[in-house]
Structure 1
Amino acid sequence: MWQKRATDQPYTRYCLGAMQEVDQDYTRISIETAERVGQQLLEGLTTAGISVQFRLQGSVPLNVHIRGVSDVDLLTIDSSFLRYDTGGLMARSGSYYPTDRTSLGVLQTLRAEAEKILKLRYPAATVDTSGGKAIAISSGSLRRPVDVVPSHWYDTVDYQSSNLERDRGVYILDKKVLTAISNYPFLHIYRIEQQDAVAGTGLKKAIRLCKNVKNDAIEDGKTINFPSFDVASTLYHCNLAGLKAGAYYELAVLAETQRFLDELYHNSEKAKSLWVPDGSRRIFDTDQKYEGLRTLSIEIDDLAKEVAKEQSVRLRYGSDVSLDDSRRVLMESVVGS
């Protein structure tokens, strides 16, 4: 257990802990809370004549959620309506039927009904309807915060050929600007899972590490406008061999994370060329996100130096600890049990 290791090395211990997945009971409660909210929505929406399905998206099904911070994203899908790419195999074979309904109309109705149901069925909870894309419900009898995301299916060209849900998209409502936005949450999960397998679980460790460091920096008063989805999307482009080294040299995950974020810090052109895993947009589509990356990079730099000093007497008593020296130490250090 990491909790019993590096007890006299607080930065190393923090790093090891920040990379770990949360315990199974914590995750189970998160999923059960979302399912409970889904059951209330199912009953209420069915009564209102709206047929729905539910899926989890985001950090919980991907297993990169962190304790005390990550909520559970519950896609609430109106299954009576979908959009499809007209160039797909099923569309060209006449498998779909036209309708006068629109994404915007369907999603606005679903959102309005879901808001009413949640307020009615969870009177002691906080139901925040101010968000553009999600209804946030928390407190009361709920043991985890849940984001309810009204949506409907989108059958992409790939889905029409593969019939694999990972290739299926959704449309979600942005209530603030009254528009429907396409989203590919299952493809995002699938592609990060694939990269993580190549990286020997190092990619997910790097994502959790950055999310924990980011949250702690925010609690210390720093501003980091870098959404968790984009943190994961950025680390997706790390050197996978560098992350895989963490299977034995655990601190190599920190070394590669620091190296890559530092590279992007100094190369805005490369950073702004990167795409999210599902290919739908560039990661750094606002200046605020790039500044958030730079702030996070500095935090990771500081952590890497402190952990390296705990692992190396030479660095501990050196007058000027460089990041290159810190990385070399981290890539060769074995933390005792």
Structure 2
Amino acid sequence: MPIPPQPVIKCESVYKIFGDNAAKILEQSDGKVETASLLEAGCVIGVNNASFEVHKGEILVIMGLSGSGKSTLLRCISRLFDTTAGDIFIDGEDLLAMNEKELINIRRNKMGMVFQSFALLPHKTVLENIALPLQVKGMSTNDSMDRAMDMVNLVELTGRENYFPRQLSGGQQQRVGIARSLAVEPDIWFLDEPFSALDPLIRREMQDEFLRLQTVLHKTILFVTHDFDEALRLADRIAIMKDGVIEQIDTPGNIVLNPATEYVARFTRGVPRERVLSCQTIMEEYDASVEMSDITVSEHAIIDTVAKPVLTEVHPVAVTAAEGNIVGVLNRNIIMDVLFDEANSMPVNTSDESQT
């Protein structure tokens, strides 16, 4: 039996509690932490018993409302915050057991970080900003500039390498931040609300850019956002947090179809199903005796991307696997059921959670 691949990131019962005597309070609670009792003791829960794995090349989007613990969890995994309890492993190495030198080394060589704040040095050019972390690592000026120029081309800022940050738009500045984090060729990429300060149109463009880069680079990514639309666009899996607890972690489709808690259900109630369902989840059995359309669709294609061509076809459309064999069929009636299901348009109401 084949051995499953080792996860790039593994968290086991991770807690982060802010306040005096946090460790003692956690020990007395026997791992069952209640937010109300912590508040009475003058503590605040950031992460509450988080356990999960992230595998190579996967995009895990961590989402939740303000105060849910999503950014705290990211900072624990990058060890910008020390955890109160639990274990975190990076490529099988115990992150929490590393000394300062080992931690600096893993951050410089395995981790890239992008935050909401662009944090560009105003007196340095685009090229100089991108080259800076390479020079900190000890790379020569010439080599670091060559590498920085490669990153400029990668994020499509060619021709602006000698601009200063003040001469760039917000989206361009964020591209510089992304290029800088990628310059060190990290295996793991942490992004904390990187596009939330951008205008909607620029934000959409940056999401497209992010997806383009991922098809080229295949990084292992933890991406924090409070925007469910953004999560749906980017995620292989989504982790939804509330009061430090991971309420559910699953594929976008499974979270929308099978919410584990009422809280998750309220997040997903207004999500159009065609944006998360794949052809595989709604296809019907293939009958070789039925005349088929000339077009085919992939079993992994999202309904939203294939609805129009299927609706224009008189005959059923074959759904194919990666090998090209037919695994099912779609027709106009199936697509119509998905598009116009009344449950599909129920409003999301999270008003009573807005202060968390």
Into which bin does the TM-score normalised by the smaller protein fall?
under 0.3
* TM-score normalised by the chain length of structure 1: 0.25
Higher strand share: 2
Higher helix share: 1
